[in-house]
Amino acid sequence: MYRIVSYLILLCCMGAHAHESQHSHYVGHHGMVLFQSENDSWYASHLPLHVAPHDFQLIYEVELSDTHLIKQGAASKQMTILPERFDLAKLIAGDIFTLDAVLYLGHFERGGKVFGRVTVSFKKLVYKRQVVNQAPSGLKFDLITLSSGATLAIHQIASKPSFDALTWVSQSREGPVSCEPSQLTTSVTRQIEQCLNATPFYLETKDFQ
């Protein structure tokens, strides 16, 4: 009986260790781009990569602590945040939680400048998609309607070469949207404009080449 009990305890410990190891590589610094909708609501979009555990496109509605600082920075073309170390699995699961973060004017990995610190409350997961490493068949965009009524187009990241892009589109558009790449231009921005009839406010290509 003693051997059986000891064996069961060992199995439980091994299972707990395996579960802990499985999620430990999700803990780290996970950068995000900040953007604002028409009704002044703020959103944070996780900056994904092709490799795990960063291979998730995630967009959250957030609340920010220092609204005065944020309004000052909003004049910048782009704002990104680098939160303190946390478990990305919490974002993937749609958890509600709060983190301290460094605010950057510009992309924090592309020469962005530190502008201050903010507390970010992750209120609601509005979009989730795992990056799929398969050859793209044209441009594909998911369309979601935010609480303001604004419609956001999110490019479905495919295998390399690809790109991450966020674009405001007409509220009359319905998704998903697919377009064949134009043979007349190699510009990603122009490809998006021709497909969505709108210019992306966020575009990242270097991480997906």
pLDDT reading at 21 higher than 50: no
pLDDT band at 182 (very low <50, low <70, confident <90, very high): confident
pLDDT band at 16 (very low <50, low <70, confident <90, very high): very low
* Same domain for 123 and 166: no
Tens of pLDDT along 82-125? 999 999 999 999 999 999 999 999 999 999 999 999 999 999 99
Residue showing tokens 């509005």: 126
The domain boundary, picked from 131, 165, 200, lies at 131
- Whole-prediction pTM: 0.86
Radius of gyration in angstroms for the set of CA atoms belonging to the chain, rounded to a whole number: 20
* Same domain for 100 and 56: yes
* Same domain for 35 and 121: yes
**CA separation (Å) from 68 to 39, 56, 152?**
16, 31, 26
Query: Residue 54 sits in which domain range?
Result: 25-131
The domain boundary, picked from 112, 131, 150, lies at 131
Q: How many residues are recorded in the chain?
A: 209
Tens of pLDDT along 121-149? 999 999 999 998 888 778 999 999 998 88
Counts of helices then strands in the chain (DSSP H, E): 4, 13
**Which residue type does 1 have?**
M
* Same domain for 92 and 47: yes
Tens of pLDDT along 62-81? 999 988 888 888 888 899 99
* Same domain for 84 and 115: yes
The domain boundary, picked from 131, 153, 187, lies at 131
* Same domain for 192 and 136: yes
